[in-house]
Structure 1
Amino acid sequence: MKIFKNKTDLIAYVERLKSKKKTLGFVPTMGALHQGHASLISKGLSENDFVVVSVFVNPTQFDNQEDLVKYPRTLDSDVELLTTISEEKIIVYAPTVEDIYGDNVIATSFSYDGLEYEMEGRFRSGHFDGVGTIVKRLFEIVRPDRAYFGEKDFQQLMIIKKLVEKHMIPVKVIGCIIYRAKDGLAMSSRNTRLKSDYREAAPFIFKTLKTAKEKFGTKSATKVTEWVIKQFANHELLELEYFIIADIKTLKTVKRKSNQKAYRAFIAVYADDIRLIDNIALN
């Protein structure tokens, strides 16, 4: 497995592959890889000759510096997992902060036509500027044909599609279904930091989303939201940050349902000091 620590060597290698008409998939990650990442990589391998996996904890998308410090960094075990998927067809890019940003570790300001102000954007100041900065830079370095993102971060997926559209970046962005543990918890690198009692409680999030979906068939968005808030108000361990039902195109909170629109429910929950997000298609 080829592992690159600097962009100069990676760019030269990618150029050689492209000169041989090889196609490249790309899965950007912040490491602490799990089966959710593996599912994205496997899809990429089924549609491309090679897949580049970046492993980089991006400092400019953290509004909470403590979260940045605590974020798991497990490159050796990440490479072990990747080896079980493919030794020959996966290329790892694990740069330093300096290799990506030089001496200027700062995010560029982006406009995503308002998508950035909804949900996560309300609670994580500057987050999507950091996301846009790193993803655009990685696209420029890797030059993939296709890039794969999980729908667990659905708002991020929509924002990256908007980034590609507005900056005319020649890559096809592909959203992939949420990979879940057997008990329904959406796979996340943060799950490894959950204390045992919080890990045991966390599947309540998806259970609540599934019931909210059922209720959305007969009740208004307001009534469903009130019901979800009540469920978490009565929970001993999990603290609801937000529950929002939104139009999937604009991500704006729905006020009145329309049969002509598709909706999704989004949720953010604190399990102790670990922040978990999830979502579900409603119709």
Structure 2
Amino acid sequence: MKVIRTIAELRQELNIMRKNHNNDTSDSRGVVVGLVPTMGYLHRGHASLMQAARQQSDIVVLSIFVNPIQFGPNEDFDSYPRDEERDLAVARAEGVDIVFSPSVEEMYPQPTQTTITVSGITERLCGASRPGHFNGVTTVVSKLFNIVQPQKAFFGMKDAQQVAVIQQMVHDLNMPVDVVPCPIVREEDGLALSSRNVYLSSELRQEALVLSQALRAVQEAVASNTAITAKDIRHILREHISQSVHAVIDYAEIQSFPSLEPLADDEELKAYGDLLIALAVKFGKTRLIDNIRIQKMEVLSRV
């Protein structure tokens, strides 16, 4: 596994690896480069992305970059957890070929004057409470796509809005990248894995279980009531989360996916196809997100 810090060296190394792979195989489909973009502090959720990339790609590139332009002025950029030595051990164990770990100065050698904006779907959910966040995400992902030129890019569905935004960007700008969404990975007690979980005290971590419990309650309600409405879903979510003393709800929503159009309170779920039930809740200073998707067949099969 090679650890590379500069764009020029990464491009040179990828050219060599592509050429060597072409010489070593008669496969006519070409070399598939899989990119796993991360901000580091890797956990089993990230490992699952690397595993998917390893299965579907000839060359796996993992990027580790805490992207400053996706953090707001009062967010946790400076304190965001970092542990490169452990990250490299995880990457090596998962068979990554290249770790691209640039400095901020390498990625942004001068103030950024060009950003990419995806309108509409970035203005809801996390975009409503984190203005400018998704401009930072789409800009850095676009840069990584241009630098690495992958055929596939792997993203976790824990941030379902991010997946929808990147898919929209790829579609609108005709980027030759297949965005591969990967399932959420959870602890045994249901808590979705997140690099920010390290911020939680033992008490707050226990309280954070209300997120997965609320989502499970929604699944059970959908299974037992085919006439369930969006208002019912929102009530179930808030009712469960309110059981946590320290929970402060940013949003507890049901929206169509991937358009992220909100449902009116009286709309029944069975009238829709793919739905996203999404949560963002603060426990102390730590903001956590979680979600589930409900497919139309899951609803209609019980009608």
TM-score range with shorter-chain normalisation? over 0.9
Cα deviation 1:12-44 (Å, max 9, x = unaligned): 111122234332111000000001000000110
Q: Determine the structure 2 residue equivalent to 1:8.
A: 8
Contact 1:30 1:58 in 2 (8 A): yes
Query: Are the structure 2 counterparts of residues 76 and 265 from structure 1 closer, same or farther at C-alpha, using a change threshold of 3 Å?
Result: same
Q: Determine the structure 1 residue equivalent to 2:26.
A: none
Query: Are the structure 2 counterparts of residues 265 and 66 from structure 1 closer, same or farther at C-alpha, using a change threshold of 3 Å?
Result: closer
| SS of match in other structure, 1:211 | helix
Work out the CA distance in 2 between the residues paired with 1:279 and 1:64.
26
Cα deviation 1:90-134 (Å, max 9, x = unaligned): 21000011111112146614134x111111111110011000100
Q: Determine the structure 2 residue equivalent to 1:73.
A: 82
Q: How much has 1:83 moved relative to structure 2?
A: 1.8
Cα deviation 1:124-177 (Å, max 9, x = unaligned): 100110001000000000111110000001110011011111111111110001
Work out the CA distance in 2 between the residues paired with 1:54 and 1:6.
12
Q: Which of the numbers 186, 190, 193 marks the counterpart of 2:192?
A: 186
Say what the alpha-carbon RMSD is for the aligned residues: 1.5
Contact 1:267 1:278 in 2 (8 A): yes
Work out the CA distance in 2 between the residues paired with 1:139 and 1:207.
37
Contact 2:254 2:276 in 1 (8 A): yes
Query: Where does structure 1 differ by over 3 angstroms across 4 or more consecutive aligned residues?
Result: none
Contact 2:40 2:66 in 1 (8 A): yes
Residues 1:101 and 2:101 are matched in the alignment: no
- What is the TM-score when the length of structure 1 is the normalising length? 0.94
- What is the TM-score when the length of structure 2 is the normalising length? 0.88
Q: 1:247-266 counterparts in 2 under 5 A?
A: 247-255=256-264, 256-257=267-268, 258-266=270-278
Residues 1:226 and 2:235 are matched in the alignment: yes
Residues 1:34 and 2:43 are matched in the alignment: yes
Work out the CA distance in 2 between the residues paired with 1:239 and 1:90.
41
Work out the CA distance in 2 between the residues paired with 1:224 and 1:38.
32
Q: How much has 1:66 moved relative to structure 2?
A: 4.0
Q: Determine the structure 1 residue equivalent to 2:244.
A: 235
Q: Which of the numbers 193, 210, 232 marks the counterpart of 1:204?
A: 210
Cα deviation 1:177-227 (Å, max 9, x = unaligned): 101111111111001111111112222210111101222352211122123
Q: 1:81-120 counterparts in 2 under 5 A?
A: 81-86=90-95, 89-105=96-112, 108-112=115-119, 114-120=120-126
Contact 2:210 2:240 in 1 (8 A): no
Amino acid at match of 2:108: Y
Amino acid at match of 2:177: V
| SS of match in other structure, 2:77 | helix
Work out the CA distance in 2 between the residues paired with 1:40 and 1:209.
23
Contact 2:39 2:67 in 1 (8 A): yes
Contact 2:118 2:165 in 1 (8 A): no
Q: 1:54-65 counterparts in 2 under 5 A?
A: 54-65=63-74
Query: Does 121-130 or 197-206 show the bigger shift?
Result: 197-206
Q: Which of the numbers 145, 164, 170 marks the counterpart of 2:151?
A: 145
Q: Determine the structure 2 residue equivalent to 1:175.
A: 181
Residues 1:279 and 2:286 are matched in the alignment: no
Amino acid at match of 1:8: A
| SS of match in other structure, 1:68 | coil
Work out the CA distance in 2 between the residues paired with 1:182 and 1:90.
30
Amino acid at match of 1:173: V
Q: Determine the structure 2 residue equivalent to 1:268.
A: 280
- Unmatched 5+ residue regions in structure 1? none
Contact 1:242 1:269 in 2 (8 A): yes
